[in-house]
Structure 1
């Protein structure tokens, strides 16, 4: 019987030090534990590092403890830890990250092979972990929209994503977005099941 499991890792800069839109993935993951009726987050060692984890029978939620731009090796090590416990054919990797191209709070599934569009966290993960080695494991990205400033020069965009998140932005990311992320996980599982059964 097909028993799918999901490793869901959020990318961002470590909280609470960096409470910015760039850490939208972490805020969404905070609320996702509740949306999926998961146990609360607790500190554990995974991928040889201490990190916040919510472990349930189907979903393992992990907040990457590293800076965004160097998250790849941590994600790869956690994936290796999980593959030792589960058959890779029944394990999916889901990366939750911020997305400038979408309005605040818009959630969508993004194909793994889609361009990172300058997102250094995604670039780092792809450099450290090759999906080709796990052809039966769905690797997917969940992009969480954070909107973008009117001007697109690098300095303005950088300030926008790294400034302290407002209370309202945080409410949207932690209380609204997680339910949409949970829905995307259901869609992902349905699609995966139909592929396995055909």
Structure 2
């Protein structure tokens, strides 16, 4: 129906730019499309009027074609969504694996890297189910590593807390009863 470009957006890492797109169709069949980059405030607009001059027969044929291909369109949309999810999952896992570095044990790192390779290999597939299965396998592998890391961090925190409690327990009397000491603090310089 029409094309326009939203220019002047500075380069940014994947997933950072935010573009707000709005579509408005009025009673006269005029389509107004706006796109605004939220970071820079740059905005573009286009107005598409119904001056295409299509005959009623052509419009009806197009509607029938659209209905006939609706299932294919749904499958294609599902495939594209699966590919996008898989690509994002692989990107995020790769990025997080790099950030975690040596804190992930080597076998877990190899499992995740193999799952990333599987996901990226499945992107060429035409089977959305296969792509989603590989994506879930990657997410499961990464969740297991995350759980292990959190468990290790909690265990380390618990060990630190019990070591502090253990030192206090050693100061107690042999019978296990606490000694009560009454003391008064006196400034040492005045008493000399």
Fold in common (TM above 0.5): no
| TM superposition score normalised by structure 1 | 0.23
| TM superposition score normalised by structure 2 | 0.23
Q: Which has the higher contact order (CA 8 A, sep 6+)?
A: 1
Larger gyration radius, structure 1 or structure 2: 2
Give the helix-richer structure, 1 or 2. 2
